[in-house]
A and B are shown apart, each in its own frame.
Chain A
Amino acid sequence: MSPDEIRGMAEREREHQAGRSCVLQVCTAAGCQPMQSVEIKTALEAEAKARGIGEHQCQVKSVGCLGLCGSGPLVRREPDGAMYQRVTPGDAPAILDSLGSAPPTHLFLDTRQPFFARQTRIVTANSGRIDPERLEDYLAAGGYATLARVLTEMSPQEVIGEITRSGLRGRGGGGYPTGLKWSTVAKSPGTPKTIICNADEGDPGAFMDRSVLESDPHRMIEGMLIAAYAVGASEGYIYIRAEYPLAIARLKTALRHAERHGLLGNNICGTRFNLRIELRLGAGAFVCGEETALIASIEGNRGTPRPRPPYPAERGLFGHPTLINNVETYANVPSILERGGEWFAGIGTERSKGTKVFALTGSIANTGLIEVPMGITLRDIVFEIGGGVPEGARFKAVQTGGPSGGCIPEQYLNTPVDYESLMSLGSIMGSGGMIIMDDSSSMIDVARYFMEFCMTESCGKCIPCRMGTVEMHELLGRFLNGSAAKADLDLLEDLCEMVKSTSLCGLGQSAPNPVLTTLRYFRPEYDAALAAGGR
Chain B
Amino acid sequence: MAGRVLTCQIDGQDVSGLEESTILEVAREHHIRIPTLCHVPGLPEAGACRVCLVEVEGAARLLPACVTRIAEGMKVKTESERLLKYRRMTVEMLFAERNHICSVCVSNGHCDLQWLAQTLGVDHIRFPYRYPALPVDSSHARFVADHNRCVLCLRCVRVCGEIEGAHTWDVMGRGADCLVITDLAQPWGESASCTSCGKCVQVCPTGALSEKGKSAGEMAKQRRFLPYLTLMRGGNHV
Contacts and interface: CB of A to CB of B under 8 A. Distances in A.
A276 interface: no
A504 B175 contact: no
Contact of A460 (B50, B126, B128, B173): B173
A504 B50 contact: yes
A318 to B, nearest CB: 16
A302 B86 contact: no
Contacts of A380: none
Contacts of B178: 460, 466
B48 interface: yes
Interface string A460-479: 11111111111100100000
- Which of B46, B69, B93 is the most central at the interface, judged by chain A CB atoms within 10 Å of its CB? B93
Contact of B90 (A285, A306, A464): A464
14 contacts: A307-B67, A455-B175, A457-B174, A457-B175, A458-B175, A463-B48, A463-B90, A463-B93, A464-B50, A466-B152, A491-B126, A491-B127, A501-B61, A502-B90
B175 A471 contact: no
Contact of B171 (A458, A460, A509): A460
Given A302-B170, A462-B50, A467 B85 contact: no
Interface in A159-199: none
B96 interface: yes
B177 interface: yes
Contacts of A491: 126-127
B136 to A, nearest CB: 20
Contacts of B128: 471, 474
A222 B178 CA distance: 40
A502 B64 CA distance: 9
A464 B48 CA distance: 10
Top 4 A-B pairs, shortest CB-CB distance:
A460-B178, A307-B47, A458-B175, A467-B93
Interface string B67-109: 1110000000000001001100110011011000000000000
A113 interface: no
B74 to A, nearest CB: 13
A459 interface: yes
Nearest to A459: B174
A466 B49 CA distance: 11
Interface in B12-71: 45-50, 53, 61-62, 64, 67-69
B142 interface: no
B174 A460 contact: yes
A503 interface: yes
A309 B96 CA distance: 31
Interface residues of A, number: 32
Contacts of B86: 498, 501-502
B47 A504 contact: yes
Given A307-B68, A474-B128, A491-B127, 12 more contacts: A306-B47, A458-B174, A460-B175, A461-B152, A461-B154, A463-B93, A464-B90, A466-B152, A466-B176, A467-B93, A501-B82, A502-B53
A494 interface: yes
Nearest to A487: B126
Nearest to B96: A467
A285 B176 CA distance: 15
Interface of A: 285, 302, 306-307, 309, 455-471, 474, 491, 494-495, 498, 501-504, 509
Nearest to B154: A461
Interface of B: 45-50, 53, 61-62, 64, 67-69, 82, 85-86, 89-90, 93-94, 96-97, 126-128, 130, 151-152, 154, 170-171, 173-178
Nearest to A467: B93
A53 B58 CA distance: 70
A454 to B, nearest CB: 9
Contact of B175 (A456, A474, A498, A501): A456
Contacts of A306: 47
B48 A461 contact: yes
B46 A455 contact: no
A502 B84 CA distance: 12
Nearest to B46: A461
A498 B171 CA distance: 25
B176 A467 contact: yes
Nearest to B67: A307
Contacts of B97: 463, 466-467
Contacts of B50: 462-464, 502-504
A466 B89 contact: no
A485 to B, nearest CB: 12
B48 A462 contact: yes
B49 A498 contact: no
A463 B94 contact: yes
A468 B93 contact: yes
Nearest to B90: A463
Contacts of A471: 93, 96, 127-128
Nearest to B37: A463
Contacts of B64: 307
A465 B47 CA distance: 13
Contacts of A455: 175-176
B2 to A, nearest CB: 20
Nearest to B157: A302
A466 B47 contact: no
B76 to A, nearest CB: 16
- Which of B67, B126, B175 is the most central at the interface, judged by chain A CB atoms within 10 Å of its CB? B175
